[in-house]
Structure 1
């Protein structure tokens, strides 16, 4: 496909769980400059609390904006706006000036899933990570409605703050502590002089709303058909598909806001530390004094490992799900024949096995089969992962040309906000392009089937074991009594 030259650009901020990425993108979806900075390790010294240390989110965004602008060889005056995408389910407690009273709580922090009432009298505002960064960029206490899911007094049907006083009581949040809400693609504000000094962005540059990072990723992946599913291979792994309704009546999926104004997405169950487990394993190998190991070398070695990883199974509960707090991560099936590449491949295969169960549960509840799966996120860069998914899921898998789909989704929101495109369909079709498509191989599909069945049944055996090890309320049976 020949893409026309462009004279109009937007800057997209993708603040994820492990790093911040910034891209400068033209109106056709071409990336002209980019930068990335890893976030600092989470502070987890208090049990149940997971926080971004100090002011790490803002500092990483400011530094990455400066780096991307320095790498941009085009005319910076042609940048029409900023699309801001940040991690979902985070919580920021702010003072009257919009500064942090304490570090931002991660989505993994136990407090964000309960009615946490801050005890600090300095807390004047309670918002998401996007609400906090909007304030740092623009000075406005404004946020996207599409980043409010979970323990917030939000009316998901009206897409506005609740009119029921009981919702404020149950969440521990007052109305006066909440930001003004706007839809994706709408104006959040303009870059202030102070923010311009910190980021290198021009003062007065418009900043546009997106949604939560998963929804923005769906937009940047071109997810538009209800017969397709997007598999997001990020720190949190989940599957999504467009929704016909703003609420779910099934336990097999829930409904999230879309990054298209007024829209919604069905989202499956997932893996809470999905691709993070790959980073953990790589860093573990490097910390043990082995020769320098990167994901490329692990990928190359794992391609030589047979299907099923020599009988090795990974259980990916490195961060336990809320309904099974006793669960832990594990590798099962060692017999002395496996090495580092078997371990790596077993993690990839466990991701595919686990998400097959979640995807099929959502299909059953919705009464339709997904004919194709789009893969996005950092894990989509792995060609081996694509082949494993195609064969375990037994359906075609494709990835897009821009693997930072959340970044491209943020750019699309900015292109809409800046008036470069008048509607979402046109913007998506102009910017999102297919890179690769992998078809399932019948022999590999058949070879994977028994391993997938075994993996799906492992929890029946490991749940009692983990409960016994934890000493929790579940009663173990048999030899664990």
Structure 2
């Protein structure tokens, strides 16, 4: 028996739409899973905020539920890793208290600040140095918005961190950030691999406000007695460095070789590939892969699952959790192309590859003959078309996408996955376990706890499900719709960017 056999690890995912915890008995057994919903708030157009207190309440609840499900006699966790959306912005004062709701990675309020930054810095030099372009993804742009609009909050900032960094602080008392949060946030120099003071200074905050960046697979601290009492975790349990949710999903899907592509259907939509070199491109983001020595070029759409949740509440408010399935059934009766109804899924502005915080969600071509099923199908198709746009960009850069894998909650919709395969005209391999991010995080704790496991061994935890094959008869319809989709954004771009009051 290997040293890892029977050892237990925990993955905790602080997601946009839910908090999920998973208890794994190594090498390949999921002992327990628990989840709680998370509330995404959009109090103004383009805004996306959440309550960090809810994340912590959820984390306490799901971790306690894992212990209950496993049973006292079978509760022997040996490590935990926390993953989450990136880069959410959490602001703390000098006592560690949260100053305001988090500004989510999908938030689009800082368009003016992005324009301001582009006027100040050499965008090409910034891209070459940090691996990421001057976009709304930068934590710097969001902090400048806070400085301009909430000066009292800005003046009280002592710490800036991400969603899972905040949970790690509560678990351990240690003040560090995941290096991918710092990289996508615009604070890391690729050459040095460290947070640099002059990059932090662009946010108009002192260097001390951004904690040191910590590698994912190393222990950052241990669960304190106070946190143990609140969560049920053992005091002293090793806590590993934290992981961006999309990169954790990529690891869980086995995305470690060129040509393999992960499509992640969560609250936001992510597309990730693996690369041995840091190929920076302004249309995409660049992260470190969880496997040391690799990089993970990726794209992220601001509102995919969150847009579906919003539309479901409007179209089927009485259905509750069954709304998605009911609307899927209606959409399945609608032909490909939704009878001329075209949606742009930019309900929180858009991140990659257009980087347009002023873009808006639209339904174009509505008529009195359209139904709820048409609206739902048009949004499902819009997300698939936006993924196709990313695939074209990856191909253009030279990543040569070949095999497509799909993970996370959206894969439960066979209607959506069928549309995805038809739009790409490529098979899409579903992962039977939709808990990709949590599984990837658990594996970080597994690797950190012993040397008898490899990074590729994580795939023992993720069973492949159905392979969705494309319908060739729909290729022409979706080729035409993709052209219309692209032309619609180009046509509406001046409208999105008109003068605003």
Q: Is the 8 A contact 1:183 1:261 kept in 2?
A: no
Which position in structure 2 is the counterpart of 1:463?
Answer: 493
Q: Is the 8 A contact 2:394 2:401 kept in 1?
A: no
* Structure 2 residue 168 is the aligned partner of structure 1 residue 134: yes
Q: Distance in 2 between matches of 1:203 and 1:153?
A: 33
Q: Deviations over 1:24-51 (max 9, x none)?
A: 1222343221111111342636x77643
Q: Deviations over 1:95-149 (max 9, x none)?
A: 3443323333322444635153575554332222222211100111133212223
* Structure 2 residue 302 is the aligned partner of structure 1 residue 272: yes
CA shift in 2, pair 1:69/1:224, >3 Å: same
CA shift in 2, pair 1:192/1:360, >3 Å: same
Q: Is the 8 A contact 2:11 2:21 kept in 1?
A: yes
Alignment of 1:98-109 (within 5 A): 98-109=96-107
Q: Structure 1 length as normaliser, TM-score?
A: 0.88
Which position in structure 1 is the counterpart of 2:70?
Answer: 72
Q: Is the 8 A contact 1:131 1:179 kept in 2?
A: no
Alignment of 1:156-171 (within 5 A): 156-162=190-196, 165-171=197-203
Q: Deviations over 1:161-183 (max 9, x none)?
A: 22xx4223213232333323321
- 1:230 Cα deviation from its structure 2 partner: 1.0
Give SS of 2:165's match. helix
Give SS of 2:370's match. coil
Higher relative contact order (CA 8 A, sep 6+): 2
Alignment of 1:44-443 (within 5 A): 44=43, 50-53=48-51, 55-73=53-71, 75-109=73-107, 110=109, 112-114=139-141, 115-116=143-144, 119-120=152-153, 122-162=156-196, 165-248=197-280, 250-268=281-299, 270-287=300-317, 293-321=322-350, 323-366=355-398, 368-419=399-450, 421-425=452-456, 427-443=457-473
Q: Compare 458-467 and 329-338 and name the one that shifted more.
A: 458-467
Which position in structure 1 is the counterpart of 2:11?
Answer: 12
Q: Distance in 1 between matches of 2:322 and 2:248?
A: 32
Q: Deviations over 1:240-277 (max 9, x none)?
A: 111232350x3333312222234311113x42111211
RMSD: 2.6
Give SS of 2:316's match. helix
Which position in structure 1 is the counterpart of 2:22?
Answer: 23
Give SS of 2:346's match. coil
- 1:16 Cα deviation from its structure 2 partner: 0.7
Q: Distance in 2 between matches of 1:122 and 1:448?
A: 51
Q: Distance in 1 between matches of 2:420 and 2:47?
A: 33
Q: Distance in 1 between matches of 2:268 and 2:329?
A: 24
Q: Distance in 2 between matches of 1:472 and 1:95?
A: 33
- 1:283 Cα deviation from its structure 2 partner: 1.1
Give SS of 1:265's match. strand
Q: Is the 8 A contact 2:404 2:428 kept in 1?
A: yes
Relative to total residues, which structure has the larger helix share, 1 or 2? 2
Equivalenced residue count is: 459
CA shift in 2, pair 1:451/1:188, >3 Å: same
CA shift in 2, pair 1:385/1:219, >3 Å: same
